Chains A and B, each alone.
Chain A
Amino acid sequence: MRRYERPVFSLIYRMVRDRALAEDLAQETFIKVLNGIRSYRPEFKFSSWIFKIANNAAIDQLRRRDLDTLSLDGSPHAQTADEIQATALQLDGGAESPLDAVTSRELGGQIERAIARLRPEYRACILLRHVEGHSYEEIAQMLDLPLGTVKTYIHRARNELRGYLERVRD
């Protein structure tokens, strides 16, 4: 369990961008894994099974709370300055909690902000591929997506990340 504690927590944290929520979801993930260990099918990699449960927990949460429309820089779907302002998370206000401050510090870098702007399904794919180092085939299995779709999502995610990073660095 210790082996997967940080990778699973990191994935969920970057997906939901809320430390306390990520903690709850990571806990839920490991409880499901350990209580459901008898349903594990050894033809799949154990790590794939854990990350699948973790990703499902994060995606379910994002769907429930629609957190994907929130980011430090406002919704990626916002078209005008007012819309961006209205959907941006304010992390430097006086009401910032200690946990918010930790999140702001940890996920405040340019690349973290760029990741936050991706659609959740792109975000999951790029994190599993380039941060966790899983193969395209493993990611397809984890996310129940066709291999071609995973490749497309990762390609688009990389393009969006490069585009965003070029804009903020210019």
Chain B
Amino acid sequence: MMMHPPHPHLTPDEIELWAQGLLGAAGALHLAECRECLVHAEQERKLARDLANLPRFGPEFGFIERVMAHVRVPTPSGDFRA
């Protein structure tokens, strides 16, 4: 007869904790016995890794200069100059 794991299926928060290596013992035990949760958790971890590995894009050359051309810079008298 198949034994059911005593811990309920993992919540999204618990799966995230597992991916960070922070899941508690009861959750970890459940994960070791529940294939459904394990498959789901591994899919979530893969997705999180894929997202974290997405490249960062940069604006075109001269971006900071274009921004600074519109920034009001305070003068010693307390006024601002564009």
Q: Tell me the A residues contacting B by CB distance below 8 Å.
A: 1-2, 5-7, 9-10, 13, 22-23, 26-27, 30-31, 34-35, 106, 111-112, 126-127, 130-131, 133, 151, 155, 158, 161-162, 165
B interface vs A, CB < 8 Å?
12-13, 43-44, 47-48, 50-52, 54-60, 63-64, 66-68, 70-72
* Contact residues in A for B43 (Cβ distance below 8 Å): 162
* B52 contacts across to A, CB distance below 8 A: 130-131, 133
5 A-B contacts (beta carbon < 8 Å): A1-B64, A5-B63, A22-B59, A35-B72, A162-B47
**A151, B12: Cβ atoms closer than 8 Å:** yes
CB distance from A61 to the nearest CB of B (A): 16
- Are B72 and A27 in touch, CB under 8 angstroms? no
CB distance from B53 to the nearest CB of A (A): 9
Distance A131 CA – B55 CA, assembled complex (angstroms): 9
Q: Which of A31, A127, A161 contacts B67 (CB 8 A)?
A: A31
- Which residues of chain A are within 8 angstroms of B44 by Cβ–Cβ distance? 158, 162
A27 near B71 with CB under 8 A, answer no
B66 to chain A, nearest CB (A): 6
Chain A residues positioned under 8 Å from B58 (CB to CB): 5-6, 9
- Contacting residues, chain B, for A131 (C-beta < 8 A): 51-52, 54
